Structure 1
Amino acid sequence: MEDHLQHLLNAVVLGGTYALLGIGLTLIFGIMRVVNFTHGELYTFGAYMAYMLAGMMGLNFFLSLAVAAALGMALGALIEITLLRPLKGADIDTTMLVMIGAGIAMQAGEQLVWGGVAKSVPSPFPIEPVVLGSVSVGMNRLFVLGVALLLLGGFYLLINRTKLGVAMRATFQDPDTAALMGVNRGLMYTLTFALGSGLAATAGALLGPIFVVTPTMGDLVALKAFAIVILGGLGNIPGATIGGFVLALAEEFGAGYLSSGYRDAMGFLLIIAVLIVRPHGLFAMKERIG
């Protein structure tokens, strides 16, 4: 029983950051119909920014996380304005090739700037774990979970309880009618891409102190983000949230009871099984964002 609880706790902690990644990706696809192949590199960017701010410049750790998230949003807005906006009306193949090229260029740039040696983001939390009955968890992991849940709740309120959220959902459901009603579609697209990018950068900054930071750390993360989106249903934000936790549970229990070498494989095997039964994902709906 103790092992079950420990694996469950580990999965919940990891699932929060997976959910952030999945939401950011499904938001961009749901509103912009863009497959964001730079998502993994934006995750890496957030981790490197946390390292630069907290590790190299000595900035307060918590402030570093906030600045890294803001820089991720700024980079996302720049990508949308410089790369995607000129491609408005282009076919999906062209857009995908441009985004793949942008992802490759970003990774090469990170390799050039930071080198191939792994970096470590300093953490203010003690090494000693917090013991909760028969299970234990590090303070840094509890912090990651708390921030992730806070962001998930805030994002839900943004999408469902604000005028900006209404405008974003309207743009998703019917862009032309939304424009006739006064919604600035160009601004919505920029904000959407910036917000999705910020969530990816935030996930990277949060996990930077837990794992090492390398230029290729976003490769597998990007695959998992796409898997989460497909598992939850394209354009379905609640589905992406649940999908993130489902993937984390599959990985953690697979690694715990089979082999740690099968951690990543278990999640993708689960997704294959789900798609055989429900090809559009667990929570796919005809029209859904929010």
Structure 2
Amino acid sequence: MDQFLQHLANALIMGGTYALLGIGLTLIFGIMRIVNFTHGELYAFGAYMMYFFAVVLGMNFYVAIAFAICAGMVLGAAIEYLLLRSKRGADIDTTMLIMIGAWIVLQNTEILIWGSVAKSINSPFPIEPLTLGPVSLSSVRVFVLIVALALIAATYVLINRTKLGKAMRATFQDSSTAALMGINTSAIYTTTFGLGSALAAAAGALLGPVFVVAPAMGDLASLKAFAIVILGGLGNITGAAFGGFILAFAEEMGASYISSGYRDAMGFLIIIIVLLFRPTGLFARSERVG
């Protein structure tokens, strides 16, 4: 039981950042109907921005996280404005090719600027772990979970309790009618892509100090984000949050009780099972954003 509780705690830590990835991706799909292949690279971008602000510039650790998230939002808004706005209404093949091209450009730009050698980010937290009964966790991982949960809650409130969120949901339901009601749908699309990108960058900025920062780190993150969205149901924010924790739990238990080599495989095995028995996702519903 002690070992199980430790694994459960580890899964909660990773689940928070997985949920951020999934929410960001499902938000973009739910409103814009864009399959965002750059999502993993925006995750890596957040980690590199954390390295830039915290290590290269020597900025305060907590301020660096905020700056990295803002940088991710700006980059996401720029991608939507420069690459997608003129192609709005185009067929899905066109937008997919655009996003695949942007993904390749972003990854190679990271290699050009930062090189292929992994970077490390030191945190201000003590090395000694926090112990609560049989569970032992590093302070930085606890911090990651707290911030991730706060961002998830803030996103939920934004979507469901603010005028901006109401405009986003109206645009999702019927963009033409929303425009007739005075909503600037172009601004909503840009804001949505920026918000989804900021959440991906937040996940990267939070996990950068926990692991290492490398150009290829976004590849697996992108696959996991799509897996989370499939688990939760396309466009379902609440489902994406739960999907992130489910995927993290499956990976942790698979790595612990079967083999660490099957950590990633266990998560995708669950995806296959879900697609077989519930193709719309575990938490799918008629209105998918919210």
Q: Same fold (TM over 0.5)?
A: yes
Q: Aligned residue for 1:254?
A: 254
For 1:110, give the aligned amino acid: E
Q: Aligned residue for 1:59?
A: 59
For 2:28, give the aligned amino acid: I
Cα distance between partner residues in 1 of 2:78 and 2:28:
15
Cα distance between partner residues in 1 of 2:15 and 2:114:
28
Contact 1:77 1:191 in 2 (8 A): yes
Q: Give CA-to-partner distance per residue, 1:199-252, whole Å, 9 cap, x none.
A: 000100000001110000000000000000011000100000000000000000
Q: Aligned residue for 1:242?
A: 242
Where do residues 108-187 of structure 1 align in structure 2 (5 Å cutoff)? 108-187=108-187
For 1:125, give the aligned amino acid: F
Contact 1:51 1:122 in 2 (8 A): no
For 1:73, give the aligned amino acid: M
Could you list the runs of 5+ residues in structure 1 that have no partner in the other structure?
A: none
For 2:43, give the aligned amino acid: Y
Q: Aligned residue for 2:192?
A: 192
For 2:183, give the aligned amino acid: V
> Are residue 284 (structure 1) and residue 284 (structure 2) matched?
yes
Cα distance between partner residues in 2 of 1:239 and 1:202:
19
> Are residue 275 (structure 1) and residue 275 (structure 2) matched?
yes
User: What is the TM-score normalised by the length of structure 2?
Assistant: 0.99
Q: Aligned residue for 2:224?
A: 224
Q: Aligned residue for 2:2?
A: 2
RMSD between aligned residues: 0.6
For 1:155, give the aligned amino acid: T
Q: Give CA-to-partner distance per residue, 1:123-158, whole Å, 9 cap, x none.
A: 111111101111100000000000001111111111
Q: CA deviation at 1:121?
A: 1.1
Percent of aligned pairs with the same residue? Answer: 69
Cα distance between partner residues in 1 of 2:288 and 2:174:
12
User: What is the TM-score normalised by the length of structure 1?
Assistant: 0.99
Cα distance between partner residues in 1 of 2:7 and 2:76:
34
Q: Aligned residue for 2:28?
A: 28
Instruction: Count how many residue pairs are aligned between Structure 1 and Structure 2.
Output: 290
Q: CA deviation at 1:177?
A: 1.0
For 1:35, give the aligned amino acid: V
Cα distance between partner residues in 2 of 1:131 and 1:88:
52
Q: CA deviation at 1:287?
A: 2.3
Cα distance between partner residues in 2 of 1:117 and 1:94:
34
Cα distance between partner residues in 1 of 2:105 and 2:81:
17
Q: Give CA-to-partner distance per residue, 1:58-80, whole Å, 9 cap, x none.
A: 10000000000000000001000
Cα distance between partner residues in 2 of 1:122 and 1:190:
34
For 2:245, give the aligned amino acid: F
Q: Aligned residue for 1:68?
A: 68
Cα distance between partner residues in 1 of 2:87 and 2:56:
38
Cα distance between partner residues in 2 of 1:88 and 1:27:
17
For 2:268, give the aligned amino acid: F
SS across alignment from 1:145: helix
> Are residue 96 (structure 1) and residue 96 (structure 2) matched?
yes
* Segments of 4+ moved more than 3 angstroms: none
Where do residues 195-206 of structure 1 align in structure 2 (5 Å cutoff)? 195-206=195-206
For 2:179, give the aligned amino acid: A
Cα distance between partner residues in 2 of 1:153 and 1:106:
29
For 1:253, give the aligned amino acid: M
Q: Aligned residue for 2:40?
A: 40
Q: Aligned residue for 1:107?
A: 107
Q: CA deviation at 1:286?
A: 2.4
Cα distance between partner residues in 2 of 1:75 and 1:49:
11
Could you list the runs of 5+ residues in structure 2 that have no partner in the other structure?
A: none
